[in-house]
A and B are shown apart, each in its own frame.
Chain A
Amino acid sequence: MIVDVATFVGAYPFRVLPGATPDALVGQMDRLGIDAAWVGDLGAPWHRDPRAANRNLDVLVAPHAPRLIPIPTVHPGLPAWEEDLQAAADAGAPGVRTYPMQQVVDPAGTAVQGLVQAAAALQLAVVLTVRFEDLRQRHPLDSVPDLPASAVRALARCDAGARLVVTHANRDFIEEVHFGLTPDEFRRVLWDISWVWGPPDDDLATLLGTVGEERFALGTGMPLRIGDGAFAKLDLLEGSEGRLDRLTGGNLRGWLK
């Protein structure tokens, strides 16, 4: 079963994205052979309060259950954010999304750590997004820095049960986090492959050898990016069918147990 941990639906603030509806996302998943996807709301990172976006996300993806799995957004700087987290757990979500850089919350501070700890207690993963777009192309008003690697290290260390899915990270970022954590800590971090380069530099192949194949999951970044990127680099990897099965779903399933 192929699962994509990095997809969105909804309106992006800085440009009109074709294919940002659930129907269109499912259409792309069909084309690419993706069975299920973790889906976030693309506007929620910039909303003052993501609660309405979460409700809207549920409604939008419901017709496509169980293929589209809503991942609600939690803003740990807001009052009663614990209710949003509990609602996600009650709904059976595998995790929640949080965006400290867009929410202007210290990404390694007590609020986000509190969310990671509370999510750990509920056995929910926390999905972090390093970036939405390349720094060079952002709208002039989108001056939000990328999520710093130091914050991911701090969050991975903040609770023995913390589990982080980090999306849209490149090789340098992944290495800086991974090799700055203990084995117990780095086993609780899962990376998606959407922003890791393939050949000829072969950053993905390098990371699979150094960081470990079991640390990676499929992410496409749709509809910000075309989903073919993740599959092209997988198809150019050397390796067995079993390896592809692990990277496109097996690792995620094992990690969530």
Chain B
Amino acid sequence: MLIDVHAHFHTNLSPRADWQAVNARRLAIGQRIGITAHVASILGSWGARSPIYFPSKEDVEHANDAMLALCRAHPKLVYGYCVVNPNETEHALHEIDRRVAAGMIGVKLAASRRANDPLLDPIAALAGGRGVPILHHIWQHRRREWPGQEASDAFELCELAARHPATRFILAHLGGGGDWEHTLRVVPDVANVWVDLSGSGLDNGMLEAALEAVGPRRLLWGADITLDTGLAKLRYLESLGLPADDLAAIRATNAQAIFPEGCFR
């Protein structure tokens, strides 16, 4: 079993005309790689009507509708995160409520509000109460503001995680750009944060350092935008001579443990 905990799909609102082909390609390439579950989100209208990381309420609803449609079109293969913008707090809580009830298995927080902001507390509490993890977009060591997003780094996510010990958090794309060494200094003692290995970054030493920092039971395999780099990291992990249980944990069993019980059957 191989679970991609960080996948994305597009919709007819996405700015790219080939959105259907890209979605189909993700599934086709996923099959070649051996992905048995794509846990995915759609980031609003991908910038077409509202910014990718600051989606409007309308784009949030459109994205979650489309994500659920994909889940229904590909049962037992595609699973959904509920995307929300915490600045629209009541709307976000309502979305999580109804989308989890409809079958979504996680919450996706991107970069609309800093992770340690109190505005995220009710969202984190609700996700914990519903038993679904939060995948949080992270900029590995954010030294400054970057345009287009109110990005958070590991420090900020871990502050939120410390306030919500019963909620499970996934720190997004360790390989997604930024200083992953900084992140790996922050996360070891925060037991309710798992690290997803996705992203286009293929830095030599990153996977070994992640294993050393948090161990194989808190690492999650994922691809994010680039499936080829996901495959590369998977192959490299396989070359490290890890015990079979540890490799299986990174591939799937860790994810099975933090998402709602039995959802990947």
B-binding residues in A (CB < 8 A)? 15-19, 31, 133-134, 136-137, 140, 197-202, 221-226, 228-229, 231-233, 235-236
Contact = CB atoms under 8 A, between A and B. Distances in A.
28 contacts: A134-B201, A136-B140, A136-B178, A137-B141, A137-B178, A137-B179, A140-B143, A197-B200, A198-B228, A199-B29, A200-B25, A200-B26, A201-B225, A202-B25, A221-B202, A224-B203, A225-B204, A226-B202, A228-B232, A228-B233, A229-B232, A231-B235, A232-B231, A232-B232, A233-B232, A236-B33, A236-B228, A236-B231
A201 B202 contact: no
B208 to A, nearest CB: 7
A223 B204 CA distance: 6
B232 to A, nearest CB: 4
A226 B232 contact: yes
Nearest to A194: B202
Given A232-B231, A232-B232, A236-B29, A201 B204 contact: no
B178 A200 contact: no
A205 to B, nearest CB: 10
Tell me which of A16, A198, A233 has the highest count of chain B C-beta atoms within 10 A of its own C-beta.
A198
Contacts of B179: 137
B236 A228 contact: yes
Specify the main secondary structure of chain A where it touches its partner: loop
A197 B33 CA distance: 16
Specify the main secondary structure of chain B where it touches its partner: helix
Nearest to B10: A200
B260 interface: no
Nearest to B205: A18
Contacts of B29: 199-200, 236
A137 B140 contact: yes
Contacts of A223: 204
Interface string B213-240: 0000000000001111101110110010
Contacts of A231: 232, 235
Contacts, number: 92
A18 B208 CA distance: 9
B181 interface: yes
Q: Rank and list the top 4 A-B pairs by shortest CB-CB distance, nearest first.
A: A198-B228, A200-B25, A136-B177, A228-B232
Interface string B57-98: 000000000000000000000000000000000000000000
B204 A137 contact: no
Given A137-B179, A201-B22, A236-B29, A17 B227 contact: no
Contacts of B239: 31, 228
Interface in B23-46: 25-26, 29, 32-33
B180 interface: yes
A140 B178 CA distance: 12
Contacts of B226: 197-199, 201
Contacts of B203: 133, 137, 224-226
A226 B233 contact: yes
A228 B201 CA distance: 12
A197 B228 contact: yes
Tell me which of A17, A221, A232, A236 has the highest count of chain B C-beta atoms within 10 A of its own C-beta.
A232
A232 B227 CA distance: 9
Contacts of B227: 198-200, 236
A216 B177 CA distance: 25
Contacts of A229: 202, 228-229, 232
Given A15-B181, A224-B204, A225-B203, A236 B232 contact: no
A222 B232 contact: no
A216 B143 CA distance: 36
A84 to B, nearest CB: 28
Given A17-B205, A222-B204, A226-B233, 15 more contacts: A16-B205, A17-B204, A31-B239, A134-B177, A136-B139, A198-B227, A199-B25, A199-B228, A201-B22, A201-B226, A228-B231, A228-B236, A232-B228, A232-B231, A233-B228
A200 B235 CA distance: 18
Interface string B184-208: 0000000000000000111111011
A235 B34 CA distance: 13
Contacts of A198: 226-229
A222 B204 CA distance: 8
A218 B99 CA distance: 45
Nearest to B24: A200
A231 to B, nearest CB: 7
